[in-house]
Structure 1
Amino acid sequence: MELVPFSENDAAQLCAWIPDAKANFQWGGPAFSFPLTPDQICTHIAREEVAPYLVKHHQEAVGYIELFRVSDNEYRLCRVLIASPTQRGKGLGHQLVALALEKVRVIPNVYKVSLAVFAHNTAAISCYSSLGFVVLPDHTKTRFFNGESWTLLRMERWL
């Protein structure tokens, strides 16, 4: 598995991986509207603090992740996605996050990596915990999707 720079040419593929409004919200939170469009993606990845990556496994694009610069000392993992539901639960997410952590480790002066995850996404929480992330109980938030309340957890780890 490898992370390769994501480009505007990959935006249509990413949009195709987000099948419905619920998946869109789980992946992108309130930052994107559904249906997700290449224009939304291209506008987002043009931001200076966003470093997007396409995830390739056996030369095939299988996912996406962003490194978001929060400050000179902190990066946030955002929009983590293994595209095919049939490929989830096989350790690809663990490999993906480990590769992202390797990229952050070589950035000078960065000592903290954070992320946000919905509390009902227990598989993701388990993955992140196995890589040393811990939940910050004082940073819990609530987001609303279609009248439902979704608890958003903040997790972090030190490098």
Structure 2
Amino acid sequence: MALRAFEKADYDLLIRWIDSEELNYQWGGPNFNFPLNRKQLDDHCAKPEVIPLVFVHKGINAGYVELFKLSESKSRVCRVFVSNDFRGQGIAKLMLQQLIELAHIDHNAQVLSLAVFERNTVAKKCYESLGFQVTSHQSGTRSFGGEPWDLLLMEKWL
């Protein structure tokens, strides 16, 4: 089990995983249009503050996650995704544990933040189990299909 750099050769993998408009919105918020494509990924991954990663479990690509550098001591966990074949196996927690260690050791992060849709209770429980705490609640800033999707902002001090 290890995180490795997400590369152009992995674009099609992520494009296959993000296979619906709703999943695209849950994963990428308003930053990506569905269907996800190589140009969107190329433009996004070219940003110097974006550190995109693939989680490999038993030799198989199992998930995707980003570390987004906000400052020298603050980073943000973004776009957490676990492949359907690995859901319900604790892969997200393993992937995030490695990301937290990477953020702290390799990127000197003192604080990690993230945003999760309130309706994504499985993800929220996973983040809480890793020590993230809700710091604020945003209503009315996001919606999908005419339905509001409230955001929870969470933080963890390292």
On whether the aligned pair clears a TM of 0.5, the verdict is: yes
2:26 counterpart of 1:26: yes
2:6 counterpart of 1:6: yes
In structure 2, C-alpha distance between the alignment counterparts of 1:35 and 1:110, rounded to whole Å:
33
Worse-matched range after superposition: 36-45 or 105-114: 105-114
In structure 1, C-alpha distance between the alignment counterparts of 2:108 and 2:6, rounded to whole Å:
24
Q: In the alignment, which residue of structure 2 is the partner of 1:135?
A: 134
- SS for the counterpart of 2:76 is strand
Q: Offset of 1:107 from its aligned partner?
A: 3.6
Q: In the alignment, which residue of structure 1 is the partner of 2:46?
A: 46
2:62 counterpart of 1:62: yes
Q: Which amino acid aligns with 2:145?
A: N
In structure 1, C-alpha distance between the alignment counterparts of 2:26 and 2:107, rounded to whole Å:
31
| Identity %, equivalent residues | 43
Q: Offset of 1:110 from its aligned partner?
A: 2.1
Q: Offset of 1:128 from its aligned partner?
A: 0.4
**TM norm structure 2:** 0.95
Query: CA offsets per residue over residues 3-43 of structure 1, 9 Å max, x none?
Result: 01011111111010011000000000000000000111111
Q: In the alignment, which residue of structure 1 is the partner of 2:119?
A: 120
Q: In the alignment, which residue of structure 2 is the partner of 1:73?
A: 73
CA RMSD of the aligned region, Å?
A: 1.2
Q: Which amino acid aligns with 1:39?
A: K
- SS for the counterpart of 1:136 is strand
Worse-matched range after superposition: 140-149 or 65-74: 140-149
**TM norm structure 1:** 0.95
Runs (4+) of structure 1 exceeding 3 A deviation are none
Gaps of 5+ in 2: none
Gaps of 5+ in 1: none
